[in-house]
Structure 1
Amino acid sequence: MTKENIINDKNQLVDKKLVQKTWFRYWLSAEMSNSYERLQSLSFCYSMIPVLKKLYPEENDLKEALQRHLNFFNTEPTWGAPILGISIAMEEEKSLTKEIPGEAITALKTGLMGPLAGIGDTIDWGTLKTIIYGIAVTFASTGNILGAFIPVLFTVLTFIIGSCLTRFGYTTGKNSVKSILQQGWIKELIFGTSILGLFMMGALTSNFVKITTPLTFAIADGQNIAVQDILNSIAPGILPLCVVFGIYYFLTKGKVNYGLLAIGIVIVCLLCSLLGIL
């Protein structure tokens, strides 16, 4: 069978029931398995197990797929559901055609998890939950028993939305993967999603890594020069940038215990704070 025939074959290894089962697993476990090292990766991998077992009967192929989905992953579960569907579609095409490298699946997950998390946090937790809970509080304040049950609507709605988005991601992702295979865009896909992932990591770094120094030097006439002002004049945010690059340097030195690295960062921060350096 030629590559074109495989791509155009409408017989699917993954059916709707299996896609729904994958979403149900992810919905149950997404916020229960978080770890400091990989956040939702355990949940994502657990959700993909039924699909991967069906797609990869060979033990070595299954191990490789499981390890692929144990890489760092974190997004808003409901609106990040398309990533789950697209991953299923890509794994299915990979098992059929052998044309999709594992790096492409990982790169796509990394590139999409940040933007979709922002959408989900805004719509679900910033808007939908606020409205539903606001209505519930209104009923509860008047002694109406409905106030105790209305919050359940948030769980029901997010489950339905996530289920639809997972199926949408699978359908759209499957068609997209076929087009990518036909056009030979695998390298462009990996490169583009990697750049998107780097943009998101840079944005997260600038927002969450806050480091300043209180050091000052006395000069003539009782005036002081703040080291932080000098650094800001050179490049605002240069200290957080140096710290991020420093941590990245350690991460590139082979296998790193992320737990020990996190403890080391906390110890260094405490020492610098006690010494008045940072």
Structure 2
Amino acid sequence: MDSNREESKTIQITEKDVKNSWLLHYIVAEVGISYERLQALGLTVSLLPVLRKLYKTKSDIADAMRRHLVFFNTEAVFGSLINGIVISMEEQKARGEDINTEAITGIKTGLMGPLAGIGDSIDWATFKPIIFALAATLSAKGNPLGAFVLLVLPMIQIIIGRQLSAFGYRIGRDSVTELLSSGRIQQLITAAKTLGLYMMGALSSTYIAVTTPVKFVFGQGNAPFVLQKVLDSIAPGLIPLAIVFFIYWWLNHKNQNLAVVVLLLVAIALVGSFIGVLAPVNS
């Protein structure tokens, strides 16, 4: 193990490695996507060339892969900062620095939400409409350039993503070194976990959209008693919150069989919808 660590200290990750890793992530980020892990599989695949360069034993590579096969979801272009920072932290860890799994996971979880918001606003809500509108205008006039203008968007994305991933690697490398020397790594982990929990709560409320149409009428001529309005007056989103707590309780106290949980939720949704107790938000 000591010889492997000494060998890892001599390994130098280059910015070319970082940029190529992100480019692979750009291509495969949505491949193998699932509600359980979303982009985690694509991220892990893109990091594999770097991880194989940093770690020399199968067990170390397997441990690194497990670190990155947890839930991950962000906007791939501006989220490239995360790719660079994570590679920087993995490099420091491979060299024997005191960086644990929680630190790496916390950084990813804490940054994926804010960077997704920035990327969606700039990349998909600004660049894409402008470029696609220009392409549609040219195509409507019979100009064949309209078909090729669409390629401007991925070109811009690749340029931005490669540069931001390299920038993330540079600031990540310097930041990690400074944090380790100052002893503030635990504060960083706590802050990242807190932000990550906040973002996971926001994601949960977004993905789980359930209401109840149940209402009662007490006495003729009286306004109906709408259960959903009562729940919303207490705290909006109580039903999605209850579902999240139920899933957490089940996985924490019963078992880790996600297939059973999914089938149970589908059954509850079907029965609840059939008897008129549950309904999607947009219904």
Q: TM-score under structure 1 normalisation?
A: 0.91
Counterpart contact for 2:36–2:71, Cα < 8 Å: yes
Counterpart contact for 2:19–2:163, Cα < 8 Å: no
What runs of 5+ residues in structure 1 fail to find an aligned partner?
1-5
Counterpart contact for 1:79–1:117, Cα < 8 Å: yes
The verdict on how the C-alpha distance between 1:268 and 1:54 changes in structure 2, with shifts beyond 3 A counting, is same
Instruction: Give the match for residue 275 of structure 2.
Output: 275
1:237-252 counterparts in 2 under 5 A? 237-252=237-252
CA distance in 2 between counterparts of 1:229 and 1:141 reads 48
What's the % identity of the aligned pairs? 44
CA distance in 2 between counterparts of 1:74 and 1:61 reads 24
1:212 corresponds to 2:211: yes
Amino acid at match of 2:208: V
What runs of 5+ residues in structure 2 fail to find an aligned partner?
1-5, 279-283
CA distance in 2 between counterparts of 1:173 and 1:255 reads 37
Amino acid at match of 2:229: D
Instruction: Give the match for residue 3 of structure 2.
Output: none
CA distance in 2 between counterparts of 1:36 and 1:55 reads 30
Amino acid at match of 2:225: I
Map Cα deviations across residues 139-172 of structure 1 (whole Å, 9 max, x no partner): 1111111111000010111011100011000001
Structure 1 position 95, deviation (Å): 1.0
1:67-78 counterparts in 2 under 5 A? 67-78=66-77
Amino acid at match of 1:139: L
Instruction: Give the match for residue 203 of structure 1.
Output: 202
CA distance in 2 between counterparts of 1:83 and 1:159 reads 15
CA distance in 2 between counterparts of 1:156 and 1:227 reads 51
Amino acid at match of 2:277: I
Map Cα deviations across residues 218-266 of structure 1 (whole Å, 9 max, x no partner): 3234533222233233333322221221122112236523343223212
CA distance in 2 between counterparts of 1:254 and 1:151 reads 50
Instruction: Give the match for residue 232 of structure 2.
Output: 232
Structure 1 position 205, deviation (Å): 2.9
Q: TM-score under structure 2 normalisation?
A: 0.89
CA distance in 2 between counterparts of 1:36 and 1:227 reads 30
CA distance in 2 between counterparts of 1:103 and 1:44 reads 17
Counterpart contact for 1:140–1:146, Cα < 8 Å: yes
Report the aligned-residue RMSD.
Answer: 1.9
Structure 1 position 137, deviation (Å): 0.9
Instruction: Give the match for residue 94 of structure 2.
Output: 95
The verdict on how the C-alpha distance between 1:72 and 1:235 changes in structure 2, with shifts beyond 3 A counting, is closer
Counterpart contact for 1:37–1:259, Cα < 8 Å: no
Counterpart contact for 1:56–1:62, Cα < 8 Å: yes
